[in-house]
Structure 1
Amino acid sequence: MSAASRPTLAPDPTRVAPEGPVIFAVMDGVGVGRGDEGDAVTAALTPTLDWLRGLPSATTLAAHGTAVGMPSDKDMGNSEVGHNAIGAGRVFEQGAKLVAQSIASGALFRGEVWRWLIEGVHDSREPLHFIGLLSDGNVHSHIDHLLALLDRAAADAVPKVRVHILTDGRDVPGRSALRYIDTLEAALAKLREQGFDYQIASGGGRMHLTMDRYEADWAMVERGWDVHVRGRARKFASARAAVETLYAEHPELDDQHLPGFVIADQGGVGAPLGPIRDGASVVFFNFRGDRALEITRAFEDDSFTEFDRSPRPKVRYAGMMQYDGDLHLPKRFLTAPPAIDRSMGELLAGAGKRQLAIAETHKFGHVTYFWNGNRSAPFDPALERYIEVPSDAKPLEQRPWMKAAEVTDTLLQALREPGPGFDLVRLNYANGDMVGHTGELRSTILAVEAVDLCLARLVRATEQLGGVLIVTADHGNADQMFDGEGEARQVRTSHSLNPVPLAIYDPREPRLGPALSLPARPGLSNLAATTLSLLGFAAPDDYDPSLLA
């Protein structure tokens, strides 16, 4: 971006920027729960967070539903929409809502990409393949979208469809896969009654195959390639038979970790039903980008070297959305993503302010790609520094401290380097969310405590550097580890609908924090204007207002 084309910021005459950096810390998945036995945040020893939440500048923020662009307030928030809202300063309609609108209006099916996919299989007589997460979690996908695609494929006279399912157990209850499989099988059975050959072809858990992110574990994607494309995995007669057998054999596993399987003819002993061959059309029906990028690269990248794809089928491939606008992945997509412009990061780059973004691998793209409005590259590399601390590939419940200390070490070292300092630091502690997804209460309590230890170090650094500290979260998770009560209680591995904390620590203030002026429903989208104000800038008129009085 040239200097002349950068958006500009006007000064805020009522605020003076601190001498040191504004440090913006996101405690991923640390919401404000009910304080019951399933609230790992309340159960954790968190003296620093407790102190921060006692400041006059502390409040809670909405981080789910319409406050972050989801279709309704029954929809949980997630890291993508949360960081989008924080960085954009406005609420944009997000993937789930955009896809639902596009399907309901018929725009998706009138589009060139859908027609291109259908024409391909009409010409080749190969199946149309759908790959994606099978649930109604509405974080990465929604089963209703898949069912609508299947109905339209039949209306467009596609004779053969194969569905490759990824079981969830992360954004929905841990062992709920059979519910979604039964719903899908019922829909497929109705279409088969009309003369269409529509069947489930393969499957496996989302954290075992296909849905890796941030290049943390390419072996996951390779396992997905083997299962979906090559049809190489343990054979079963049906998806229900596969899941029931794997449940019995692996009582310690929930849906997200199930091994891969394929459905075979002749009662499960014959040939796989759905390897992806030359001439097929393939739709990855997830709408969220982070866990869709690597499988997309495997299908589209001619110079791909992460694993051996041979024989690589020549297919027509499309995503439900474009997952990376900078990298143009995928090349073709069914629904346009939200067009987020003038994010906080872009505005500060235009103002010549230096920014540092840091997180461990699990959440690195959250403080870069999602924070920047779904843009991977810096707006001005001379002013921005991105640091990724490699995550462990070992079980998170066994190491709930993760890389929080290393992220903090690296951050503080960078802040004390000679030369011009950073004006804004944005960092993410992944522990509350990533360990919360395991469903292990004790481990999640330790995860929250590890973050609190690091917050104490940030408080001291803020004082020493003459900065300001903002602490919040992108959504809840660790704050609600159970659903139901008594005998009906179940372990919850998905995000919560709870609000998230916000505290602003400013050592310059007599009461250690600025006074707040809160709208009726303050949310994550108010934080960009708040941060700009702390840096001495007036936010654009269309930003949601600052929370500072």
Structure 2
Amino acid sequence: MIWGIVKWAIMLWGQGGFLHKGVFYVLYAFHLMCLYKLGTIHTVHFNRAKLVDHALETGKIFEGAGFKYIQECFSDGTLHLIGLLSDGGVHSRYDQLQALMRGSAAHGAKRIRVHALTDGRDVLDGSSFHFMEQLEKDLEELRKQGVDALLASGGGRMYVTMDRYENDWNVVKRGWDAQVLGEAPNKFKSGLEALKHLKAANPKFNDQYCPPFVIIDDSGKAVGPILDGDAVVTFNFRADRMIMLAKALEYEDFDKFDRVRVPKINYAGMLQYDGELKLPSRYLVNPPEIDRTSGEYLVKNGVRTYACSETVKFGHVTFFWNGNRSGLFDENLECYYEIPSDQGITFNEQPLMKALEIGEKARDAILSGKYDQVRVNLPNGDMVGHTGDIKATIIACEAADKAVKMILDAIDQVGGIYLVTADHGNAEDMVKRNPKTAQPLLDKNGNIQILTSHTCWPVPIAIGGPGLSPGVRFRADLPDGGLANVAATMMNLLGFEAPADYEPSLIEVVES
């Protein structure tokens, strides 16, 4: 039996939570749901959104070099805005898109085309109708002001454009075909018509996997393909699901799919998405400075590190972990291992995902004695939970449990320490609830309404293993401790004093 301590509620939100500076691993890290930047020591994720908010509110976004670059195309070309149509605040926010459209029009954009990606993941499935209706109204208001503003194309985020970590380039190609070439198997006169028709044609339709569509005029011609002389902005502030499209838009030497036609455009991201690759090279808002991440700190102190996950979350233990930075800090001290994810399916079709393979790789790394720290990400609960398939999610969690057992057994053998946590929930509660009573909400047929987005409940953290001192306890003076405190906790468990600018550790040693 491995001795350990468990705290069942660390905070996700506020000072203790998503303003996090944390990491959550010591030899083994289990990501129960969906990690974002637990490897950094800065308030990064929401800072990116706040940086955009500030730039839009003050108007500084329209004074910067990035905007002036796209503004060069306003007189004769079209401004194309590509991103997630959502107010989830994870990848984008609709109010930021509104402000960008209005501000661009006020600064000379005569022709605007929006390429909208429906969500249903960070917001409720079915909410695409609401956002599409609002977008159509906002575009109509711009047209009343003399701006030629239209929706040009659309599709679901998990099926069109927003792939990540190069898991499936076909996702990006579908977006390219619709957005750049103006080609898609589905053609409609409006976004609402598209959603209504596609939903009627497929009873299992959901926002995440909406097929690609283009908007056409009365002659059947696409209203907004990207052409030479146009400007393009990807308006998501979060990086991971924009990088692949950014490569397709910016790289001359590109071989991931046949682009057919590569227009000469002025392209800028809302922010720079990859600091290592300097991608994109132009951006509207200066990204936050991310330095002294825990990964960098530990490597510079000689800690040998192994990071592993499958493709869909591989960047969460590498790219995000290191502060939106691709690559290794020190190839002599770090090993990153990626297990290819399944492609071309929704994850409820294969809920086991690669949990056992991840567990095996982590086990082998631990037993090898080559590493001081092993971090892994088990994405089953999050990726399958997002599908809303409860039976499949149960299978997914059982697979993750088996991987956990495999890793804990290895830790027991080597006398190590484990730290297990998550940065938010998903699989633990998959029904929509009344916000006042917490009772499940029913649809018109009396069936429970399924929740596909993340939950906001506090998450557990467990620390233990034969290498853990019996005197280690959770501190009683940090009742609201959260993800922000995990970095210092991990540093202490590895034998380091946490840097002064880290949030305080969750643990202390109590002498018996």
TM-score, structure 2 as length reference: 0.91
Instruction: Provide the residue aligned with 2:221 in structure 1.
Output: 271
What corresponds to 1:431 in structure 2? Answer: 380
Q: Which residue of 2 aligns with 1:68?
A: 18
Give the ranges of 4+ consecutive aligned residues of structure 1 lying more than 6 Å apart after TM superposition. 78-81
Separation in structure 1 between the aligned mates of residue 472 and residue 41 of structure 2, nearest angstrom? 20
Deviation at 1:371, TM superposition (A): 0.9
2:404 corresponds to 1:459:
no
Amino acid at match of 1:227: A
Instruction: Note if 1:363 corresponds to 2:308.
Output: no
SS of 1:248's equivalent in the other structure is: helix
2:178/2:213 contact within 8 Å kept: yes
- After superposition, the C-alpha distances for 1:4-60 in whole angstroms (9 at most, x for unaligned) are xxxxxxxxxxxxxxxxxxxxxxxxxxxxxxxxxxxxxxxxxxxxxxx99x9534342
Aligned twin of 1:176: 127
Q: Secondary structure at the match of 2:442?
A: helix
Instruction: Give 1:270-349 correspondences, 5 Å limit.
Output: 270-349=220-299
CA deviation after TM superposition for structure 1 residue 121, in Å: 2.4
Distance in 2 (alpha carbons) for counterparts of 1:90 and 1:309: 38
Correspondence list, 1:179-194, <5 A: 179-194=130-145
The equivalent residue for 2:209 is: 257
Cα distance in 2 for partners of 1:249, 1:500 equals 39
| Contact preservation (8 Å) 2:272, 2:279 | yes
SS of 1:366's equivalent? coil
* TM-fit CA distance, 1:95: 2.0
Distance 1:510 1:324, change over 3 A: closer
In structure 2, how many angstroms separate the alpha carbons of the residues matched to 1:218 and 1:263? 23
Gaps of 5+ in 1: 1-50, 71-77
AA aligned opposite 1:249: A
In structure 1, the residue matched to 2:196 is 244
Partner of 2:187: 235
Alignment-derived partner of residue 529 in structure 1? 488
Q: Is the 8 A contact 1:82 1:524 kept in 2?
A: no
Q: 1:460-475 alignment to 2 at 5 Å?
A: 460-475=409-424
Partner Cα distance (1:290, 1:376) in 2 = 11
Q: Is the 8 A contact 1:474 1:500 kept in 2?
A: yes
The alignment status of 1:118 with 2:71, answered yes or no, reads: yes
1:57–1:504: 8 Å Cα contact kept in structure 2? yes
Pick one of 474, 487, 493 that aligns with 1:516.
474
Equivalent residue pairs, number: 483
Q: Find the aligned partners of 2:256 and 2:269 in 1 and give their Cα distance.
A: 20
Question: What letter corresponds to residue 292 of structure 2 in structure 1?
Answer: R
Q: Is the 8 A contact 1:89 1:527 kept in 2?
A: no
Which amino acid is 1:471 matched to? V
How far did 1:116 drift?
1.4
Aligned to 1:207: 158
Distance 1:486 1:542 in 2: 44
The one of 379, 383, 394 equivalent to 1:445 is 394
1:506 CA drift (Å): 2.8
- 1:509 and 1:222 map into 2 onto residues whose CA distance is 49
Residues 537/374 of structure 1: CA separation in 2 closer, same or farther (3 Å cut):
same
Task: Give the aligned partner of residue 428 of structure 2.
Answer: 479
What per-residue deviation string (whole Å, max 9, x for no partner) do you get for residues 412-467 of structure 1? 223333xx521111110010110011011111122112111111122211110110
Are 2:175 and 1:224 equivalent residues in the alignment? yes
Instruction: Give, as a single letter, the amino acid of the residue that structure 2 aligns with 1:282.
Output: V
Q: Which has the higher contact order (CA 8 A, sep 6+)?
A: 1
Is the contact between residue 365 and residue 371 of structure 2 (CA under 8 Å) also seen in structure 1?
no
Q: Name the residue aligned to 1:104.
A: 57
Q: Following the alignment from structure 1 to structure 2, what is the Cα–Cα distance between the partners of residues 116 and 150?
A: 16
Q: Hey, what's the Cα distance between the residues in 2 that align with 1:161 and 1:510? A: 62
Partner in structure 2 of residue 372 of structure 1: 322
- In structure 1, what residue type is equivalent to 2:249? F
In the alignment, the residues of structure 2 paired with residue 80 and residue 276 of structure 1 have an alpha-carbon distance, to the nearest angstrom, of: 37
What's the CA shift for 1:486?
A: 4.3
Distance 1:154 1:395 in 2: 39
- Equivalent in 349, 353, 356 of residue 303 of structure 2: 353
RMSD: 2.0
Per-residue CA deviations over 1:385-432 (Å, capped at 9, x if unaligned) read: 000011111331122111000011122223333xx5211111100101
**Which piece of structure 1 moves more, 464-473 or 332-341?**
332-341
TM-score after normalising by structure 1: 0.85
- Give yes or no for the alignment of 1:414 onto 2:365: yes
Is the alpha carbon distance of 1:82 and 1:544 closer, same or farther for their aligned partners in structure 2, counting shifts above 3 Å? Answer: farther
- C-alpha distance in 1, partners of 2:5/2:175? 50
The one-letter code sitting in structure 2 at the alignment partner of 1:250 is: N
Structure 2, unpaired ranges of 5+: 21-30, 434-439
Q: Does the CA contact (< 8 Å) of 1:81 and 1:94 recur in 2?
A: no
**Which residue, 372, 396, 408 being the options, matches 2:347?**
396
In structure 1, give the amino acid aligned to 2:285: T
- Pick the aligned partner of 1:384 from 310, 315, 334: 334
Call closer, same or farther: CA 1:141–1:486 in 2, change over 3 Å.
closer
* Contact 2:474 2:506 (8 Å CA) reproduced: yes
3-state SS, counterpart of residue 298 of structure 1: helix
Contact in 2 for aligned 1:83/1:367 (Cα 8 Å) = no
Question: 1:257, 1:195 → 2: CA distance?
Answer: 34
1:446–1:422 distance in 2 versus 1, CA, 3 Å: same
User: SS where residue 245 of structure 2 aligns?
Assistant: helix
Instruction: Give the CA deviation at 1:373.
Output: 1.3
What is the identity percentage for the equivalent residue pairs of Structure 1 and Structure 2? Answer: 46
Secondary structure of 1:515's partner? Answer: strand
1:436, 1:372 → 2: CA distance?
26
Distance 1:160 1:83, change over 3 A: closer
2:461 matched to 1:502?
A: yes
